[in-house]
Amino acid sequence: MYTGIGASAGIGIGSVVIVKEPSLAYNNVEISDVAAEKERFEAALEQCIAKTQAMAEDMKTRVGEKEAEILEGHVLLLMDPEMTGQIHANIENKMCAEASVEQVCDMYAQMFASIEDEMFQQRATDVCDIKTRLLKILLGVEDLDLASVPAGTVLVAEDLTPSMTAGINPANVAGVLTEIGGKTSHSAILARALEIPAVLSVEGIVSKLENGQQVVLDGSTGEVFESPDADCLAKYTAKRDAYLAEKAALKAFIGKESATKDGHVVELCANIGKPEDALKVVECDGEGVGLFRTEFLFMDRPQVPTEEEQFEAYKKVAETLEGKPVIIRTLDIGGDKEIPYLGLGKEENPFLGFRAVRLCLQRDDLYRPQLRALLRASAYGDIKIMVPMISCVDEFRTVKGMLKELMAELDEKGIAYNKDIKVGIMVETPAASLMADVFAKEVDFFSIGTNDLTQYTMAVDRGNPDVAYLYSTYNPAVLRSIERVIKAAKAEGTMVGMCGEAAADPLLTPLLLSFGLDEFSVSATSILATRKVISLWTMEEANEVAKKAMSMATAAEIEEYLKSVVK
Ligand code: PEP
Ligand code: MG
């Protein structure tokens, strides 16, 4: 057995086809006619741009916009005057077009590869892909035709470039194995988009396997079995069939309402961390974004994102969701989320300390630009603002006051924003839960953050393994807290959602339905599974389960009971 990185889920069973690029050897001679060579290069470049644009168009219709963006990026690189200028300069120095292209592309690829950042590493792969495409045109070498591989093929390649992937017919490709690439590489993104199981970064796999050999690969675990025996084959065939049956069954929930068996409708949204994730929400048929954790915009970078950068990010999500609700949470740092460049000191009890809204209210330089960016972006969709870690009403009132001032500023400058923008809070502290009836009169909506609410209710550090046994949302104290928050919201007609992990827990679905939760916000990949679980219950059944569960005394009893009734 070999192992690599499971980069696209599913089980692939099939015969190996080794993908080897044809030789691109050329005669590196000094040229005599510079003008003719420049013309030859320009013609090849033009052909390459046209070809890449056609591939991008094809990718857009067959796979998706996001995947096509990779090839559109190639077109931009090919049009980059800096790069083509250097190739022309090489030709002027009597280098042939092939050598000129190779030298410049290799230089760019090395430069990108030397930067320790996944995006730049990917850029290096893109430049190599472009180089190959240009050389093939210059040398008149035919492209590999992956469109005509027989059904049940497992493609084995050093890397799967976007050019190769563009030609793949997913009906014939049972799996993909490569020697390089990770979960976020283009090959992984494309394999997932084409729904082909893939294991990447399997060391030396091209030379270990032979054409026609049978293999089994598990795109979730990253396992690869060469020439599997009957037992292995039977086991993985059953696994593959179960996976496909489950997937097909979930697809049936695309376009459906999120409703119980007896027609009680709820809203099913998704949590995101980056603007790009919004596309996945749309793909998975999410009804909106229930939580955008904006702190991720502030992480993995050397300084605070500007108001303009934030505005663009929020606007992008709002536009991607095309008018569906987008709840954007203001900066929630501190606790376990560190941002080194802010220079915040070490604290004895970081989870109880200077975090989230507490910090923002002391840092106008951070908070005002974020709120202004959110208000400006609200002109482009249904953005709602959510304040995290609220523990008293004053905090919320201060934020509202700030927003009022910023709105007046925008009015003065004639900048558009949604004057009726909704502002709500995360209910994730016991204080907010206990005051839910008062908050419900002041805020536009609640979103229950069970990850923190569990930690604070149980007085148990969510990351400490010694007390992990106490960290359970099934604990009746936590469930009572959730129930009272939802009931308090209902009593005032305030919208109440949940964006903590508990929203996606199928054991808790009947309880949340029974308590009256309006909105469930889960990871994009859990949307359809959650919609399915909701559809399996009637409200009467859910009420019965909730009544019984809420009469129990311990987390263990409740969990065991819920497991016995789960659908
Ligand atoms: C929560 O606390 O439940 C929540 C959704 O926020 P985070 O996990 O980002 O703290
Ligand atoms: Mg939280």
Give residue-wise pLDDT tens across range 267-303. Answer: 999 999 889 889 989 999 999 999 999 998 998 678 8
Pocket-testing residue among 271, 295, 452, ligand 1, by greatest number of atoms within 8 A of Cβ: 452
Helices (H) and strands (E) in the chain, counts: 23, 16
Which residue owns the Cα nearest ligand 1 atom 7?
A: 451
Please tell me the predicted confidence (pLDDT) of residue 321.
97
Place of tokens 């696209």: 8
| Protein residue with its CA nearest to atom 3 in ligand 1 | 449
CB of residue 451 inside a 6 A radius of ligand 1: yes
Ligand 1 atom closest to the Cα of residue 449 is 3
452 Cβ below 6 A of ligand 1: yes
Specify the 3-state DSSP secondary structure of 79. Answer: coil
Query: Which ligand lies nearest to the CA atom of residue 329 in the structure?
Result: 1
**Distance in angstroms (rounded) separating the CA atoms of residues 288 and 258:** 12
For ligand 1, what atom is nearest to the CA of residue 332? Answer: 9
Element (H, E) at 18: strand 11-19
Active site annotation includes 105: no
Residue pair 521/270 in contact by the 8 Å Cβ criterion:
yes
- The kind and range of the H/E element at 110 are helix 97-113
pLDDT at 114: 83
Encoding tokens for residue 282?
């749309």
Ligand 1: does its nearest atom lie under 6 Å from the Cβ of 449?
yes
Query: Tokens in use for 525?
Result: 């990949």
* CA 447 to ligand 1: nearest atom: 5
Q: Name the closest-CA residue to atom 8, ligand 1.
A: 451
Model pLDDT, residue 327: 98
Compute, in angstroms, the gap from residue 327 CA to the centroid of ligand 1.
14
Q: Is the CB of 500 under 6 A from ligand 1?
A: yes
Kindly report the protein residue whose alpha carbon is nearest to atom 1 of ligand 1: 449
Distance from C-alpha of 446 to C-alpha of 201, rounded to nearest angstrom: 44
Return the ligand 1 atom nearest residue 448 CA: 3
For ligand 1, what atom is nearest to the CA of residue 499? Answer: 5
Question: Helix (H, G, I), strand (E, B), or coil: what is residue 400?
Answer: helix
Q: Residue 348 has what pLDDT?
A: 86
> Which ligand sits closest to the CA of 448?
1
Between the CA of 517 and the centroid of ligand 2 the distance, in Å, is 18
Q: How far apart are the C-alpha atoms of 154 and 148, rounded to whole Å?
A: 13
Cβ count near 437 (within 10 Å): 14
Helix (H) or strand (E) holding 13: strand 11-19
**Is 532 near ligand 1, meaning CB less than 6 Å away?**
no
The reported pLDDT for the residue numbered 268 is 98
Ligand 2 mean position to 290 CA, how many Å?
13
Residue 172 beta carbon below 6 angstroms from any ligand 1 atom: no
Supply the pLDDT for residue 146. Answer: 83
According to the model, what pLDDT value does residue 104 have?
A: 94
How many angstroms separate the CA atoms of 542 and 534, rounded? Answer: 10
What pTM, to 2 d.p., does this model score? 0.71
The per-residue pLDDT for 87 is 95
The alpha carbon of 288 and the centre of ligand 1 are apart by a number of angstroms equal to 18
Which entry of 48, 96, 186, 360 is annotated as an active-site residue? Answer: 186
Which numbered atom of ligand 1 lies nearest the CA of 295? 9
Rounded to the nearest angstrom, the distance between the alpha carbon of 99 and the centre of ligand 2 is: 56
Long-range Cβ pairs for the range 203-209 (8 Å, 24+) = 203/2, 203/4, 203/179, 204/179, 205/2, 205/4, 205/156, 205/177, 205/178, 205/179, 206/18, 206/20, 206/156, 206/157, 206/158, 206/179, 208/2, 209/16, 209/18, 209/156, 209/177
Contact between 527 and 268 under an 8 Å Cβ cutoff? The reply is yes
Q: What is the pLDDT along the chain (567 residues), one digit of tens a residue?
A: 999 999 999 999 999 999 987 788 998 889 999 999 999 999 999 999 999 998 888 888 877 777 788 888 899 989 989 999 999 999 999 999 999 999 999 999 998 888 777 777 788 888 998 999 999 999 998 777 788 899 999 999 998 877 777 778 889 999 999 998 887 677 787 788 788 999 999 999 999 999 999 999 999 999 999 999 999 999 999 999 999 998 889 999 999 999 999 999 999 999 998 898 899 899 999 999 999 999 989 986 788 999 999 999 999 999 999 999 999 999 999 877 778 788 888 888 889 999 999 999 999 999 999 999 999 999 999 999 999 999 999 999 999 999 999 999 999 999 999 999 999 999 999 999 999 999 999 999 999 999 999 999 999 987 777 888 999 999 999 999 999 999 999 999 999 999 998 999 999 999 999 999 999 999 898 899 999 999 999 999 999 999 999 999 999 999 999 999 998
Task: Look at residue 444 in the predicted model and tell me its pLDDT.
Answer: 98
| Cα–ligand 2 centroid distance for 295 (angstroms) | 12
Q: Measure Cα distances from 87 to 71, 82, 137 in Å.
A: 21, 9, 16
> What distance in angstroms lies between residue 463's CA and the mean position of ligand 2's atoms?
13
541 within ligand 1 shell (Cβ under 6 A): no
CB 5 within 8 A of CB 199: yes
Q: Which of 331, 270, 283 has its CA nearest to residue 305?
A: 331
Q: What angle do CA 28, 29, 30 make, to 5 degrees?
A: 130
Tokens of 126: 């893109």
Decide if 186 is catalytic. yes
